[in-house]
Every structure is written in structure tokens, then in C-alpha cells.
């Protein structure tokens, strides 16, 4: 048996107000015409009654689709856990505002532009880590509200775009300043600079800190990891030069190979040198070496992306770049077998 559909007139009757008042109270665009207390009371009654707005009617009144597009680099991006967590943060926040998400992907035919030109979406969230600017610029040229996530992008004055990204500069400053305060005078920073935009921002921040710490008697040596032979590269590093006071790694996957190479060279991570790591997220709960882990916050990134998009759709000003801090953790050290 079908459940009776609750309509606005039912809400009006229960609240003891006119149908017009209910319409204004439940519509964000028109809601300013209703006393805040009255609007809150009507919304509470509507929620308790199980009222759901008629999509077609609401779209006609507001001129909005109540859908936002999410563009990813390709279908394989859907398998990335970091992206999944960002999307999770976005959709859980969007659901509270009764907005839907439409997945779309980059392609050489720019077919994603149809969603914009046909009015299917009120804005586009671009989720990517690489350096491609072509597709972002194509979207920006349409003047639709655009939020670029997980990378930085310069926007011309008057354009309708903004960025949400992790605060890579702040985390590097925290890591290296902390190492220097701990008495470290030699630091090695291992970072794959050209692999993606976040890595490049981390690398740039290392350069800035190297210049600042040099005047304080601290040397920062940058090293690009050899993805094909990283364990061998680390063993040769430990054997060919004095042990550094501290090592910073960008990538959880490099913790265990580095720790193993250090032990093979007769060194003890955590005693002979400090170890700090940044990554998109932490997969393991423990490591064979003491490590300070700085993890990005993908759910908060996605939620913030929606908050910026919501403001843009409403015509409110937003900063060009919103930075999300890393989260510091100290995982337990597991016993080595």
C-alpha cells in the first residue's frame, strides 16, 4: 500500500500558517521573507511529517537542478581510496542540503560540457592530482561555479572558481621546524617531486624550509626516490654518508623498506635518526620503526569542497584557496619477527 504523500498544504495546516508562508519558509531563496523562528518551526514540522519537496516544482521556482557534477580524471580514479573518501565527505554534506552528485569524467571530446550546457548541474567539483589544466580551463570558461579539489589552480580575476587542498606548506614547516627544535642538524627529505601536484607543493615547501633552516645551521638535502630500487637506494645512502639526524618521507609505502635498509646498515630508526611521514591516508596501524605520521583529511576535504560550492551557487564570496590541515598521528611500533 502506498504511503500518503505529504504536501505543503498539509504542513501549512499542521503549522497553522498559510501555504505561501510554508513555500517561503521551505525555499532557501525566498526564506528571508519569513521570521527566523517561524521558518525554524515550519521546517521542524515538515521534517516530522516526512515532507519531501516536489523536485520539478522546486526546480521551476529556483531555476536550479539541485545536482552538482564531480569530474574525475578517468574511470580508474573511482578505485582510488583517497578519492572515494573525498567523495564520501562531499556527498554526506550534500545530502543535508538535498543535493545530488553526478559523476563525470575527462575525455578528449569534452563531453562533460554537455552537462553544463544543458543545465543538468549547478556547479562542477573537479577532483584531480595531476598537472592537467586543459579540462579545468574548459569548465572555468563556461562560468559555472567550479571547485578544484586536491590541487592548486590559479584563477583569473572575476572567474567563478576556487580550490580546496591540503595544507602542504604548513605540514612541512611543522615537520622540519620540529626536527630542528629537537636538535637535528641534518635532514633528508625524500619526495617524488614531479609525480603529482600535491607532491610538488610538498617539494616546494621543502625548498622554502631548507633556505630558512640554513641560516640556523640546519642542512636539508632533497632526494628523489627510485621507485624501481628504493631499498637498494636507501641502503647505499646509509652506507655512503653519515647518518642524518632526521628523515622525512612523502609516502607510507617507503617506511618499511627504509627502516629495513637502516637496520642492515647497523642503524636504529628512532634512535639514530627521527622519521616523519606524510601521505594521503594511513593504511597500517603499526610499523617496525617509530614514526610520526601526518595524514591528509579526505572526508573533511570533501565536506569543505561542498561548503565552498554551496556558497558559490548562492553567489556568496569564497577564498580562491581553502587549505585543510594534515592530522598528526603516532602509530604504535610493532614487534619485529
CATH number at residue 22: 1.10.260.40
Verify that 182 and 237 share a domain, yes or no: yes
The conformation of residue 239, written as its DSSP 8-state character, comes to H
**Residue 216 domain flag:** yes
**Residue 1 domain flag:** no
Verify that 222 and 268 share a domain, yes or no: yes
Cβ atoms of 330 and 178 closer than 8 Å: no
pLDDT classification of 32: cutoffs 50, 70, 90: low
Cβ atoms of 316 and 100 closer than 8 Å: no
Average pLDDT over residues 2-18: 81
**Residue 204 domain flag:** yes
pLDDT of residue 58: 59
Verify that 278 and 318 share a domain, yes or no: no
Verify that 229 and 140 share a domain, yes or no: no
Q: Which residues are 223's β-sheet partners?
A: 190
**Residue 51 domain flag:** yes
Verify that 88 and 158 share a domain, yes or no: yes
Domain range enclosing 204 = 168-296+329-333
The C-alpha atoms of residue 200 and residue 307 are separated, in whole angstroms, by: 26
Nearest to 226 by CA among 238, 216, 214, 234: 234
Verify that 131 and 193 share a domain, yes or no: no
The C-alpha atoms of residue 259 and residue 275 are separated, in whole angstroms, by: 9
Verify that 95 and 118 share a domain, yes or no: yes
The DSSP-derived string for 118-159 is TT--SEEEEE--S---HHHHHHHTTT--EEEESS-----TT-
Average pLDDT over residues 203-225: 96
pLDDT of residue 59: 54
Cβ atoms of 129 and 153 closer than 8 Å: no
pLDDT of residue 54: 62
Looking at the chain, the whole-number percentage of residues with pLDDT higher than 70 is: 92
The DSSP-derived string for 25-62 is HH-TTTGGGS-HHHHHHHHHHHHHHT----HHHHHHHH
Query: How confident is the model over 118-176, as pLDDT tens digits?
Result: 889 999 999 999 999 999 999 999 999 999 999 998 888 888 999 999 999 999 999 99
Looking at the chain, the whole-number percentage of residues with pLDDT higher than 90 is: 70
**Residue 44 domain flag:** yes
Q: Is residue 63 classed exposed, middle or buried when 0-12, 13-18 and 19+ CB atoms within 10 A define those classes?
A: exposed
pLDDT classification of 98: cutoffs 50, 70, 90: confident
The last residue of a domain, from among 62, 81, 102: 62
Query: How confident is the model over 182-199, as pLDDT tens digits?
Result: 999 999 999 999 999 999
**Residue 101 domain flag:** yes
CATH code for position 215:
3.40.50.2300
177-193 burial by CB neighbour count: b if 16+ within 10 A, else e? eebbeeebebbbbbbbb
pLDDT of residue 1: 41
Q: What is the distance, to the nearest Å, from the Cα of residue 72 to the centroid of all Cα atoms in its chain?
A: 13
Verify that 21 and 117 share a domain, yes or no: no
**Residue 2 domain flag:** no
Query: How confident is the model over 252-300, as pLDDT tens digits?
Result: 999 999 999 999 999 999 999 999 999 988 888 788 899 999 999 999 9
Average pLDDT over residues 55-60: 54
What are the grid coordinates assigned to 312, written together? 558559490
**Residue 3 domain flag:** no
pTM: 0.82
Cβ atoms of 193 and 223 closer than 8 Å: no
Verify that 215 and 270 share a domain, yes or no: yes
Measuring CA to CA, how many Å separate 294 from each of 174, 208, 249, 250, 278? 10, 19, 10, 10, 5
Given a cut of 90, whether residue 180 has pLDDT beyond it is yes
Domains: count for the chain: 3
Given a cut of 60, whether residue 61 has pLDDT beyond it is no
Verify that 253 and 157 share a domain, yes or no: no
The C-alpha atoms of residue 154 and residue 322 are separated, in whole angstroms, by: 13
pLDDT of residue 30: 42
pLDDT classification of 55: cutoffs 50, 70, 90: low
Backbone angles phi, psi at 131, to 5 degrees: -95, 5
Given a cut of 90, whether residue 67 has pLDDT beyond it is yes
Secondary structure (3-state) at 95: helix
pLDDT of residue 336: 54
The C-alpha atoms of residue 233 and residue 253 are separated, in whole angstroms, by: 15
Verify that 209 and 103 share a domain, yes or no: no
**Rounded CA Rg of the chain:** 25
Given a cut of 90, whether residue 25 has pLDDT beyond it is no
The C-alpha atoms of residue 277 and residue 284 are separated, in whole angstroms, by: 13
Return the percent helix, strand and coil in the chain, to nearest 5.
45, 20, 35
Verify that 129 and 178 share a domain, yes or no: no
Amino acid at each position: 500500500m502506498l504511503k500518503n504523500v505529504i504536501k505543503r498544504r498539509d504542513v501549512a495546516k499542521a503549522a497553522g500558517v498559510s501555504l505561501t508562508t510554508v513555500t517561503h519558509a521551505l525555499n532557501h531563496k525566498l526564506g528571508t521573507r519569513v521570521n527566523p523562528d517561524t521558518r525554524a518551526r515550519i521546517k521542524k514540522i515538515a521534517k516530522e511529517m516526512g515532507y519531501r519537496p516536489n523536485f520539478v516544482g522546486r526546480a521551476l521556482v529556483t531555476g536550479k537542478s539541485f545536482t552538482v557534477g564531480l569530474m574525475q580524471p578517468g574511470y580508474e580514479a573511482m578505485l582510488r581510496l583517497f578519492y572515494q573518501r573525498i567523495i564520501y565527505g562531499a556527498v554526506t554534506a550534500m545530502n543535508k542540503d538535498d543535493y545530488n552528485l553526478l559523476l563525470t569524467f575527462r575525455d578528449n571530446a569534452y563531453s562533460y560540457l554537455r552537462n553544463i550546457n544543458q543545465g543538468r548541474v549547478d556547479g562542477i567539483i573537479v577532483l584531480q592530482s595531476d598537472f592537467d589544466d586543459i579540462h579545468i580551463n574548459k569548465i572555468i570558461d563556461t562560468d559555472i561555479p567550479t571547485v578544484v579539489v586536491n590541487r592548486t589552480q590559479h584563477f583569473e580575476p572575476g572567474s567563478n572558481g576556487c580550490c580546496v587542498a591540503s595544507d602542504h606548506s604548513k605540514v612541512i614547516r611543522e615537520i622540519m621546524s620540529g626536527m630542528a627544535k629537537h636538535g637535528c642538524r641534518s635532514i633528508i627529505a625524500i619526495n617524488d617531486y614531479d609525480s603529482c601536484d600535491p607532491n610538488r607543493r610538498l617539494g616546494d615547501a621543502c625548498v622554502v624550509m631548507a633556505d630558512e633552516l640554513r641560516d640556523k645551521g640546519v642542512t636539508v638535502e632533497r632526494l628523489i626516490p627510485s621507485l624501481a630500487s628504493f631499498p637498494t637506494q636507501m641502503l647505499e645512502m646509509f652506507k655512503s654518508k653519515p647518518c642524518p639526524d632526521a628523515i622525512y618521507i612523502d609516502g607510507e609505502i617507503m617506511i618499511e623498506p627504509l627502516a629495513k635498509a637502516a637496520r642492515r646498515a647497523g642503524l636504529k630508526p628512532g634512535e639514530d635518526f627521527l622519521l616523519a611521514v606524510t601521505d594521503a591516508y594511513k593504511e597500517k596501524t603499526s610499523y617496525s620503526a617509530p614514526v610520526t605520521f601526518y595524514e591528509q583529511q579526505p572526508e573533511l576535504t570533501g565536506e569543505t569542497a561542498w561548503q565552498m560550492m554551496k556558497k558559490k551557487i548562492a553567489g556568496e564570496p569564497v577564498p580562491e584557496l581553502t587549505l585543510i590541515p594534515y592530522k598528526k598521528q603516532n602509530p604504535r611500533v610493532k614487534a619485529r619477527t
